[in-house]
Structure 1
Amino acid sequence: MNSQSHPATKQNGPGARQVFALAWPMTLKATFLHGTVVIDGFLLSALGEEALAAMGLAAALGGIVLGLIFAFSHAMQIRTAQAFGSGDQVFLKSVLASGLAVSLSIGVIGVVLIQLGGGALINSLAPSIEVAQQAQTYLSIFCIVIFGEAIGQCIVSFFNGCSRTKLPLYGYLLSVPINVASSIVLIHGYFGLPALGIAGAAVGSAIGITVQTAFWSVLLLITDGRLRRVVGWHHGTFVRTVKRHIMFALPIAATFVSATLSTHVCALIYANMRLNDFAALTLIAPWSLLAGQIAMQWAQATGILVAQLLGKHSPEDVLDRFLSRAWKGALVAASLVAMLFAAMCLSLDYIYPNLEEETRAIIFGFLPILLIVQFPRATNAICGNTLRASGDTVYVMHVFIWAQWAFRVPAAAIFVLYLDLSAFWILSLAVWEEALKFPAFHRRLWRGDWKRSDVAA
């Protein structure tokens, strides 16, 4: 594709409108992705606690592999944007092939490890033999989902990096209803089909992912099938090209893996709190995940456009003007998230009528934190995604990992295990974590080295 046809190549640079055009489909896609987990849990809830426990245990093991696939696919998204901005078809083909090779390798290794050791691990963790058997059944079928996502998430990242963010959304609009409908039919055995129970939910997910991946694969052949005829590799040979891709992707993947692990460790620490405090933190987590996608996807869209501009060696004044516009948009997105949390907290009696009054009062008390944290989080995200887009991935990794493991995790342990503080003070750690990252990110960005990066190297 000729890069001269894309808005990011205009001399005055893209603006907030272009960021929004990329961000809104990515936001809806992320909502579908996280919402599917909630739907699966809802569908299985009719089978009882054993089925839910089995799904949770199997999904936790399969989720480790999927987490790695998602982490590396995010790195591929940035690398694709750099290649797309450069207009170099060899570079673009190399990113697509390298990303698929890495993702499929993770999927194959993950499935092999699950087949070899998953059963023994489930038996040691499951509370009963029945739960262990159901979890093993679910996990064996879930391996199809892993293979599908290994291919599908690479294609999604490629489309996003090429500014075609609507195409992944179409895939989710197609697959989510198929997933839900097939799961309902197979769980309960409607239309004369056998009632498979928890296995039906896994088969439904496998069907949905298979349709989704096939749909994206056809779209990829239609839009970029010409890349098969491009000769050569970006770094001379395919092996060297893959190695360079892994070197770029590893710090980004490590950042995402670290974030997931630190979150799980903190959740284990929170389990030692009073029941109402722990319940309040547990309930606010999915809200933070879903509502926060608005600002996070805006920041990711900003990073995509920055990578494209750097790929075509745009002048520094063009980069400065674009980032200024994107920054203002990020603050608007943060304001929108804050308003959503305000509406949620003011509607607690209607959303959670069966919760104890004390738990609702704790959640309402979170409101000042939820309003404040959105703004430093949004501007830090703009900095982090801009620096990643320039290839400064190791520095961004250090900022995140040190903030998580040198501050948030030990502070959570001290606040909960030794000081026995309330949930309000535990949640306030999110504000302090963003405050710690703020100078590290902003000083690096204001230095301006990112504007002179040779992203094709």
Structure 2
Amino acid sequence: MTLKAIILHGTVVIDAYLVSALGEAALAAMGLAAAIAGFVLGAILAFANAMQIRAAQAFGSGDPVFVKSALASGLTVSLVIGLLGLGIILVFGEALIGSMSPSDEVGRLARDYLAVFSLVILGEAIGQCLSSHFNGCGRTTLPLYSFCLSLPVNVIASIVLIHGHLGFPAFGVAGAAMGSALAVAVQVGFLGWRLLRLDSDLFRVPGWRQDAFPATLLRHLVFSLPIAATFISATFATHVCTLIYARLELNEFAAMTLIAPWIMVAGTIGMQWAQATGIIVAQLLGQGQTEATLDRFLSSAWRGAFWAAGAVALIYAGVCLSARFLYADLSQETRLFLLSFLPVLLLLPFPKGSNAICGNTLRASGDTIYVMHIFVWAQWLFRVPATALAVLWLDLSVFWVLSLLLWEEFLKFPAFHRRLLRGEWKRAVFDQN
């Protein structure tokens, strides 16, 4: 799961690295367009994460009807969200880019990127759902294989289409989106093929988890909405902050655009460890394991989370300290801003990883609404208004803007850990209706 997620977020880093050769304006355009598309992709990923836990519960119960119901419901929800999101981008995307872009050139490049990236959104609506099904059922290598196949396609196609090699025209920023679209087509094709080969018997299982599919879909939504709302809120808050970052000075915004994918990619090590913990907890609870078994598992998982946080901190250090080699085409001022992020990034993984273990364990037990409240209120009552205050009114240094991510984790820490240590999650019984 970690390797798959690193490759998923790594494609953003690769696109940023390839586009960085075109200059700060192109990089800012990609960051702006990706922030807008990220609202829709965030909603898709949010419901995919909820489906992942539901699939794990179904797999742990050993009920094929439950497994089929989780897959069909999750796929339906994902496709509807993807189509609705594309409609919203079509209607409001150009106006939003025009209002947020720092220059006409950045706005034009962002529109070109977003027009092509819409194809990626449709592919991810299917691909993320299938990945969640396989993860929940314990086949975590299949999503990894799909990204191993798609990554070379993305890199090669992006290089060719950005710069115009092999007789193709140079599409610039839009070429990066074209490479991503080709890659996601390969990914979805592989996952669909494996689903037909491994789980075709699910299509022959009669009946649904409830009396009919509409009732099954509704039950899936009732379970998924608090989890999805948590992820949607996090994604929306992140992208709202990114749009606010667009008001920073150009070199500061370019530095934030570069470090944000690295925060996602390296941070994935800790986040996927926590998500895997949640999946296994959901399976153990579905099997009716004892509290002692759950305690032993969570204790070992928590120790692993701190090792993962240390690895993430080392990666952040490597990126910041080698900025002048990684991004030699950018100005020295942009690279100095990257280096200034180091103190915050060395501390961030530890409270973030521990909070993630708590949140995913509580979600797996069905305590989804409490987790949702912690995330939502921390984001919208602290991080977003604090970011707006720091950038739009106080004109603080970009270092202090980035440090708000760390303060948010400190704010959530006591609420998460107090709830987990109460131990009620170990006595969860899933609704069998």
Give me the TM-score of the superposition, normalised by structure 1: 0.82
Residue identity opposite 2:204 in structure 1: R
Paired position in structure 2 for 1:299 = 274
Q: Deviations over 1:292-338 (max 9, x none)?
A: 11111111110110011111111111111100110111111112222
TM-aligned CA deviation for residue 290 of structure 1: 1.9
Q: CA deviation at 1:275?
A: 7.2
Aligned 1:204-283 pairs, distance under 5 A: 204-269=179-244, 281=256, 283=258
Deviation per CA, 1:219-252: give whole Å up to 9, x if none: 1111111111111111221111111111222222
Is the CA contact 1:171–1:212 (under 8 Å) kept in the aligned structure 2?
yes
Equivalent positions of 1:44-193 (< 5 A) are 44=19, 58-116=33-91, 118=93, 128=104, 132=108, 138-187=113-162, 190-192=165-167
1:8-23 aligned within 5 A: none
Distance 2:154 2:320 in 1: 32
The change in CA–CA distance for 1:185 and 1:292 in structure 2 (over 3 A counts) is closer
Q: Judge which range, 257-266 or 410-419, deviates more.
A: 410-419
What is the CA-CA distance between 1:192 and the residue it aligns to?
Answer: 5.0
Tell me the amino acid that sits aligned with residue 352 of structure 2.
Answer: R
CA RMSD across the alignment:
3.3
| CA shift in 2, pair 1:113/1:274, >3 Å | closer
- The question of 1:27 aligning with 2:21 is answered no
Which of residues 411, 414, 420 is equivalent to 1:436? Answer: 411
Moved more, 90-99 or 238-247: 238-247
2:15 is matched by which residue type in structure 1?
D
Q: For residues 364 and 106 of structure 1, do their structure 2 counterparts lie closer, same or farther at Cα, with a shift above 3 Å needed?
A: closer
Structure 1 stretch 364-373 or stretch 206-215: which is displaced more?
364-373
String of CA shifts for 1:399-447, please: whole Å, max 9, x gaps.
Answer: 0111122222333445556666545544443333222211111111112
* Distance in 1, Cα, partners of 2:168 & 2:328: 38
The SS at the match of 2:348 is helix
The alignment status of 1:407 with 2:392, answered yes or no, reads no
Gaps of 5+ in 2: none
| Equivalent position SS for 1:108 | helix
Structure 1 segments unaligned to the other structure (5+ residues): 1-25
| Contact 2:143–2:191 under 8 Å retained in 1 | yes
If you compute each CA radius of gyration, which structure gives the higher value, 1 or 2? 1
Residue equivalent to 2:263 = 288
Aligned-pair distance for 1:143?
3.3
| Aligned length in residues | 431
* Among 340, 344, 366, the residue aligned to 1:391: 366
Q: Indicate if the aligned counterparts of 2:16 and 2:258 stay in contact, CA closer than 8 A.
A: no
Q: Distance in 2 between the 1:36 and 1:371 partners?
A: 23
In structure 2, the residue corresponding to 1:292 is in which secondary structure?
A: helix
Change (3 A) 1:267 1:135: closer
Matched with 2:286 is 311
Give the CA deviation at 1:202.
4.1
Q: Normalization by structure 2: what TM-score?
A: 0.86
More displaced stretch, 226-235 vs 256-265 = 256-265
Structure 1 range deviating more: 242-251 or 181-190: 181-190
The letter for the 1-side match of 2:217 is V
Q: Deviations over 1:239-283 (max 9, x none)?
A: 111111112222222222222232334345556667776665555
The answer to whether the Cα contact below 8 Å between 2:35 and 2:243 also exists between their aligned partners in 1 is no
Report the Cα distance in structure 2 between the residues aligned to 1:210 and 1:153, rounded to whole angstroms.
12
Distance in structure 1 (CA, Å) of the matches to 2:321 and 2:94: 46
Q: Distance in 2 between matches of 1:274 and 1:83?
A: 50
405-414 or 213-222, larger mean C-alpha shift = 405-414
